[in-house]
Amino acid sequence: MPRTAVRRLIDTLPATLLPIAAGAALAWAVAWAVGLSGLDAARGLLAATAFTLLLVAPALLLGAGLGALAGAWAGLPPHSGGGWTGRALIAAGPLLPGFLLAALAALAVRSGAAAAPLAWAALALPAACHAARLARPAMSAALTSDALRMAEGLGLDDRTVLRHLALPAALAPVTGGFANAALSALAGATAVESLLDLPGLGALLIDAARVGSLSGSLPALMALCGLAGLLRALGSALGGWLQRVTGAGR
């Protein structure tokens, strides 16, 4: 990843790694106060954080990426197979919140399906719908914009126009809306972990909440906030990089 992206990640540290570290420290302190191994508690929290990150990040990135492409495709004038996928995603978006898909996944797992692919799919699909919903109008707008007529007038070919003008325009709102998609994905992940009994942050939080333990849930909550920040930062870094690749790259 280019240096600017790394620098941007460093700039976001206070909202990302800091809350996670604070959560771990709190978990350590709480465990130590009741005479348990603080190190184990902190390590447990970090492991749960890593697990949730591994659950959410790939699903989110893949979902948003494919959804954005499908949405952009749906914005292209002649209707095609890819375009219909985008349209379907856009129409289905509000019908498919992550937690409902999580419940369906749980049902399937109970009847013997593999957990990991289903869990990822349950998180990726809402992200894809969200991205498609944002990408399509942006693509349509780009295709009727003054900039497109200018590119035509200057004699640029369709490929260049699509790659340097239309696609970046369609992707921009998706990276802008990535933070929202990440928040929904975290909520969905909590449902997935809780229903499938996976050892993630969400399950940690809900289990602690069920027994009414503030000292158990607070570290998990802090880590979740940090994770949300981390995903947001990841999204904007990736968005910037993508802009450079499609917009500025050659």
Residue whose CB is less far from other proteins, 81 or 244? 244
Residue whose CB is less far from other proteins, 70 or 106? 106
User: Using CA atoms in the order 22, 27, 30, 33, what is the torsion angle rounded to 10 degrees?
Assistant: -100
- What are the tokens at 19? 């809350």
Residue 32's H or E segment, with its range, is helix 17-33
Q: Which residue, 58, 31, 68, is CA-closest to 170?
A: 68
In the complex, minimum distance from the CB of residue 155 to other proteins, in angstroms, rounded to a whole number = 6
Residue whose CB is less far from other proteins, 57 or 81? 57
In the complex, minimum distance from the CB of residue 244 to other proteins, in angstroms, rounded to a whole number = 9
Count of C-beta atoms within a 10 Å radius of residue 26: 20
Q: Are 102 and 187 in contact (CB under 8 A)?
A: no
User: What's the rounded Cα separation, in Å, for the pair 229 and 250?
Assistant: 32
User: What's the rounded Cα separation, in Å, for the pair 124 and 130?
Assistant: 10
In the complex, minimum distance from the CB of residue 159 to other proteins, in angstroms, rounded to a whole number = 11
Residues interacting with other proteins, by CB under 8 A?
Answer: 15, 93-97, 99-100, 102-104, 106-107, 110-111, 140, 144-147, 149-157, 160, 164-165, 168-169, 172, 179, 183, 186-187, 190-191, 194-195, 202, 205-206, 208-212, 214, 217, 221, 224-225, 228-229, 232, 243, 247-248, 250
Residue whose CB is less far from other proteins, 120 or 178? 178
In the complex, minimum distance from the CB of residue 116 to other proteins, in angstroms, rounded to a whole number = 17
